[in-house]
């Protein structure tokens, strides 16, 4: 059943980690509410040096008409501060091990999204599975990047990042000597852009009495065309050549978690399995 009340999906959060200090985290709705949220928060000096490299993805789908947003943002000066309301199409949110899964329904089409990280690497995967639908689906996604300490916020000013095409996508260098951000895909097209989106309102930071405004750079546009049963994976990484095959990467993550549970001898006990995964 689609979401009617936005409060639970904005207030509830998810997190996945890489075991070396890096993580990916956000709200179920996709609204950034903390400075600590980010799709790729890399541990550049493991386990420290946590740096927000990719803030979020604003994803949309379309069939024959205008794009339908699946994302949501909260702005400082808008009359309706949460815009758009992509979570209205969310029918289910659950975990598979530690991997969050969003299920959306749009005009009879069912789309799933998963986010996970590679253990021991600053690499985040976002996979879309077009489970069922009446026709071809076009997926579009704006990738918002940054390069800041996760305790800070960004005011962009005249900051200009450099980007270049690489095999499978693009590489972004925020400044000379910065850790590179690789945005890659197994099948989608990725084109670079450069537009600062200003004044994201971080409601939890405002509640804490701290600076609650942040700017993020729209640095890449991702496009993919999917038929029912097809999938596409986006990879955000500090590494130049991470594994791009989403199915293989997800299977590796699943095996990793299964091995943890097996080693702890708690297989079949849901509570203790979750505790083992959380402890990792």
| pLDDT in the model for residue 269 | 84
Q: Is the pLDDT of residue 254 over 80?
A: yes
| pLDDT in the model for residue 64 | 85
DSSP the chain: -----SHHHHH-EEEEE-SSS-EEEEETT----STT-EEEEEEEETTEEEEEEEEEEEEEEESSSS-EE--EEEBSS-SSSEEEEGGGGEEEEEEETTEEEEEEEETTEEEEEEEEE-TTSSEEEEEEEEEE-SS-EEEEEEEEEEEEETTS----TT---EEEEETTEEEEESSTTPPPEEEEESS-EEEEEEEEEEEEE-HHHHHTTS--EEEEEEEEEEEEEE-TT-EEEEEEESSSS----HHHHHHHHHHHHHHHHHHHT-TT-HHHHHHHHHH-
| pLDDT in the model for residue 6 | 79
Residues 214 and 7: their CA atoms lie apart, in Å, by 21
Q: Is the pLDDT of residue 280 over 80?
A: yes
174-206 tens-digit pLDDT: 999 999 999 999 999 999 999 999 999 999 999
pTM reported for the whole predicted model? 0.95
Report whether the peptide linkage leading into residue 47 is cis, meaning its omega lies within 30 degrees of zero.
yes
Tell me if 238 sits within 8 A of 180, measured CB to CB: yes
Q: Is the pLDDT of residue 159 over 70?
A: yes
In order of start, what are the domains of the chain with their CATH numbers? 7-242 (2.70.98)
How confident is the prediction for the chain on average, in pLDDT?
A: 95
pLDDT band per the 50, 70, 90 thresholds, residue 268? confident
Average pLDDT over residues 60-86: 89
Q: Is the pLDDT of residue 7 over 90?
A: no
Residue whose token pair is 């083992």: 276
Average pLDDT over residues 132-145: 96
């Amino acid at each position: 059943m689609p979401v009617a009340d936005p409060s639970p999906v904005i207030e509830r959060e998810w997190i996945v980690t890489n075991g070396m200090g890096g993580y990916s985290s956000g709200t179920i709705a996709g609204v950034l509410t903390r400075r600590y949220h980010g799709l790729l928060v890399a541990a550049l000096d493991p386990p420290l040096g946590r740096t927000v490299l990719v803030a979020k993805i604003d994803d949309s789908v379309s069939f024959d008409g205008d794009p339908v947003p699946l994302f949501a943002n909260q702005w400082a000066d808008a009359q309706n501060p949460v815009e758009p309301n992509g979570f209205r199409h969310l029918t289910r949110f659950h975990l598979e091990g530690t991997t969050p899964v969003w299920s959306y329904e749009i005009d009879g089409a069912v789309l799933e999204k998963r986010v996970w990280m590679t253990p021991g690497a600053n690499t985040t995967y976002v996979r879309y599975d077009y489970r069922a639908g009446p026709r071809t689906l076009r997926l579009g996604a704006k990738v918002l990047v940054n390069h800041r300490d996760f305790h800070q916020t960004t005011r962009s000013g005249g900051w200009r990042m450099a980007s270049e095409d690489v095999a499978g996508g693009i590489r972004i260098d925020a400044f000379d000597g910065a850790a590179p951000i690789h945005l890659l895909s197994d099948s989608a097209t990725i084109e670079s852009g450069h537009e600062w989106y200003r004044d994201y309102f971080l409601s939890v930071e405002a509640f804490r009495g701290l600076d609650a405004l942040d700017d993020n750079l729209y640095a890449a546009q991702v496009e993919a065309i999917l038929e029912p049963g097809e999938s596409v994976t986006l990879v955000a990484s500090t590494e130049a050549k991470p594994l791009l095959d989403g199915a293989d990467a997800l299977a590796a993550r699943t095996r990793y978690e299964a091995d943890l549970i097996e080693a702890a001898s708690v297989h079949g006990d849901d509570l203790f399995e979750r505790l083992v995964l959380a402890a990792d």
